[in-house]
Structure 1
Amino acid sequence: MKIALASALLLSVTPLSAVAQDHAGQRAEWNRPQQPFRIAGNLYYVGTSELAAYLITDPAGHVLIDVPLAESAPRIAANIEALGFKVRDIRRLLVNHAHWDHADGLAAFKRLSGATLWASAADRATLESGRATDRDDLPPLAPVKVDRILRDGDVVAIGTTRIKAHLTPGHTPGCTSFTLETRDPRISQGRPLKVLLACSMTVAGQRLVNNARYPAAADDFQRSMARMKSIRPAIFLNFHAGGFDLAAKRARQLDGDAAAFVDPSEWPRRRLEAEQAFQTELARQKAEQPAAR
C-alpha cells in the first residue's frame, strides 16, 4: 500500500491530475506480467510481478486467493490456463483484504469463472460498495458481491483441500490470513508443508491514533500480531511479491532448488520486523498529537 501514503502526501501539494497519473503509473508497474509457476504441491503463483494471486488446485475444484486489479484479471486467467488448469473449474474466490491493489479484479474474475466469493464480514462493506470504510485516502475498487461470510477459524474445503481462515485485522478491519498444508515429493520427502498466506501487517498510511473511521486499528494490529506468533509455517507468502522476496526465490527455484520457498525462520523474522515498524509508527503518530491543556 505504498501508493496510499504517497497519495495522502501528494494531495496537499500536487494537482489532482498528477495524483491520478501517479496512481495510473503505480498500477501499470505492479501489473507487469509474471510467468506462473508451482510454489509447492498444489499451490501455484498466478499473479503479476508485484501483486500476488494464488491458485490452490484440487481434482474437485480450485480456489483462487486475490485478483488484484481489474486489468490483472485476464492476465491471471491466462496464467491459470498456461499451467494446464481451467478457469471454469475455480469454485471459490478468497481475498486477503479489501483494498484496490488486492480486490479490484474480483468482480471481473467472478464473471469469468462463475466462482463464489467468500470474505470477512468486516471487509464486506468495502468490497460491495467499492469504497474503503476504514480510510478516505485510497482509490476505489470495482464493487463485488460477497456470497458467503468467512469467520475466524472457518475452513474452505474442496475435495481433500482445506484452507483455514484467520481473521487478522489492523491493515483493514477484515484483513484475513490463510493457512493450508500441501505435499510435494520434491520437498521434505512429501511430508506435509504448512503454508501461511499472511494478510498485511504493515501500517502503510493507516491512521492508528484518533481514527474515526476505524477506532480499533491500533488495538487490532497488536492483537493480530500476538495471535500470529503461534503459527509456524514452513512456507511464508505475502500478497506483495516484494514482501517475501519472490524474485530471488523464483530464481533459485529455476536454478534447481525445489525448496526455494521453504524457510521456517522467515515468518518469525518478518513478523518481528512488522511489529517493530508498527510500534515505531504508533509512537510517531502519538507524538504528532497536540498536547492536552
Structure 2
Amino acid sequence: MPNTILTILGVALSLSTAAYPAFAQDAIKCTSCADWNKPTAPFNIHGNTYYVGTAGLSAILVTGPQGHVLLDGALPQSAPLIQKNIEALGFKMRDVKLILNSHAHFDHAGGIAALQKASGAVVAHSPHGAQVLRDGTPGKDDPQYDPNELFYVPKVAQVKEVADGETLSVGPLRVTVHYTPGHTPGGTTWTWQSCEQGKCLDMVYADSLTSISTDGFYYTGGANYPDRSASFRNTIAKVANLKCDIVIAAHPSATDAFAKAAAKTAQANPFIDPDGCRKLAAAAGKTLDARLQREREEKAKAAGG
C-alpha cells in the first residue's frame, strides 16, 4: 500500500493512561546498558521535533496539535526517563498517539510496551519488526541471534503492520515508512517534515546501518540462510537517496547529536546538513565492504583456499 495514509486518531488502543514506570524485573543488563541509559536533558532538533532519549539511545518526539509521535523506546529501564523528558518539555504522555520503532532489538524496543501502556498509543512497525515486538525477542533470522544469550523484553500485544512507502497520520503530522533491512530483517527508517518560522525541512530517523552480528553469521550467506549482502547494499543506497535535511540515527553518536545540540543557536542549527544521509550511508558502506571482504577470506580459509 505505498503512499496510502493510515489515520491513527480514532483507532488508538484503549489502554490505561496512568504513569507506567518500567518494572525492575524488566531491566536489561548488558555491557553498555548503564552508559546507554544515563539520563540526559531533552532538546529541540528543529521545529516540532525533539530528542527525548537517553545518553546513548535515541528517542524522538514529533509534536502536533492533535497528538504526538514517538520514535523508539530504548531499553525497558529507559521508559521512565523518556516519559520524564517528554513531560519536561511541557507535553503530556497521554497525547502520544503513535509509537514507531527503528528495529526490534532490546536497546531500541525494550521500553515500547511501557510507553504504550502509559500513553494508550498505537504501535506500528514493519511486519517482521511487529512480530518481534509481539514475541519479545528476535528470532533465528536476526544477525545478532545467539541462543546462549537471548534477551527478552516486555511484549507488545497489539502492533499495526505497515507497508513500505505507507504514510501514517496523526492529525496534520505525516510520517512515512521506509523498509531498511540489514542490521535486522525488519529494520525501518522513518521520514517526516518539521517546520520552523516557515522553513520546512525533511527529517530522517535512520535505522541502524551497522553490519554487526554474532560469531558465525555471514551476510554473504550460510548453510541455512541466503546471502543478504545485496539487500543490505540496497538499504544503504536507499538511505543515501532519501530527501534529507536532518538525519538522526538510532544511536545519537552515529550522527553526533549531542555535539550538534551543544552548538545549536538561534542563528545556526548544525543539525541541518543536506549531505547527512549520504555521509551516514557512505560510512556504513565502507564498514559493510570491509565486513564482506573478511567473510570471503574466512570462507576461503575454511575451504582450504
TM-score (norm 1): 0.86
The answer to whether the aligner puts 1:246 opposite 2:254 as a matched pair is no
Pick closer, same or farther for the CA change 1:142–1:232 going to 2, 3 Å.
same
1:286 offset after TM fit, Å?
A: 1.9
Q: CA deviation at 1:239?
A: 0.9
**Structure 2 Cα separation of the partners of residues 124 and 162 of structure 1:** 20
How far 1:256 moved relative to its partner? 4.7
The worse-fitting range, judged by mean Cα deviation, of 112-121 and 211-220 is 211-220
Mapped to 1, the partners of 2:163 and 2:224 lie a distance apart of: 22
Of the structure 1 ranges 214-223 and 57-66, higher mean CA displacement relative to structure 2 is found in 214-223
The separation in 2 between residues aligned to 1:258 and 1:164, in whole angstroms, is 27
Contact 1:117 1:148 (8 Å CA) reproduced: yes
**1:136 equivalenced with 2:145 (yes/no):** yes
Matched, 1:271 2:277: no
1:258 positional shift: 4.2
Map of 1:108 onto structure 2: 114
Deviation at 1:139, TM superposition (A): 2.5
Give the AA of the match of 2:253. Answer: G
Asked whether the 8 Å contact 1:193–1:235 carries over to 2, the reply is: yes
Cross-structure match for 2:210: 202
Alignment of 1:113-132 (within 5 A): 113-132=119-138
Please state if 1:96 is matched with 2:107: no
- Report how far residue 257 of structure 1 moved: 4.8
Deviation at 1:100, TM superposition (A): 0.7
Unaligned runs of 5+ in 1: 1-21
Q: Is the CA contact 2:134–2:159 (under 8 Å) kept in the aligned structure 1?
A: no
Q: Secondary structure at the match of 2:203?
A: strand
Higher RCO by CA contacts (8 Å cutoff, separation 6 or greater): 2
Q: CA deviation at 1:227?
A: 2.5
Give yes or no for contact 2:105–2:138 (8 Å, CA) kept in 1. yes
1:31 equivalent to 2:26? Answer: no
Which letter does structure 1 place at the counterpart of 2:298? E
Given that residues 117 and 145 in structure 1 are in contact (C-alpha distance below 8 angstroms), is that contact kept between their aligned partners in structure 2? no
Q: Could you tell me which residue of structure 2 aligns to residue 234 of structure 1?
A: 245
Superposition deviation, residue 212 in structure 1? 6.0
Q: Indicate conservation of the 8 Å contact 1:171/1:217, yes or no.
A: no
Q: 2-side partners of 1:37 and 1:247: how far apart? A: 9
Per-residue deviation at 1:27? Answer: 1.1
Does the aligned pair in 1 maintain the 2:180–2:187 contact within 8 Å? yes
Q: Which amino acid aligns with 2:272?
A: V
Indicate the residue corresponding to 2:89 in structure 1. 83
> Percent identity at matched positions?
37
Which amino acid in structure 1 is aligned with residue 192 of structure 2? L
213 and 246 in structure 1: CA distance in 2 versus 1, 3 angstrom threshold? farther
Report the TM-score, using the length of structure 2 for normalisation: 0.82
37, 46, 57: which is aligned to 2:52? 46
Cα shift at 1:184: 0.9
Cα displacement (A) at 1:74: 0.7
The 3-state SS of whatever aligns with 2:152 is: coil
Q: Tell me the C-alpha RMSD between the 2 structures.
A: 1.9
How many angstroms does 1:209 deviate by? 3.2
Instruction: Give 5+ residue unaligned stretches, structure 2.
Output: 1-27
Find out whether 1:161 has 2:173 as its counterpart. Answer: yes
The CA distance in 2 between the partners of 1:203 and 1:276, in whole Å, is: 10
Change (3 A) 1:249 1:214: farther
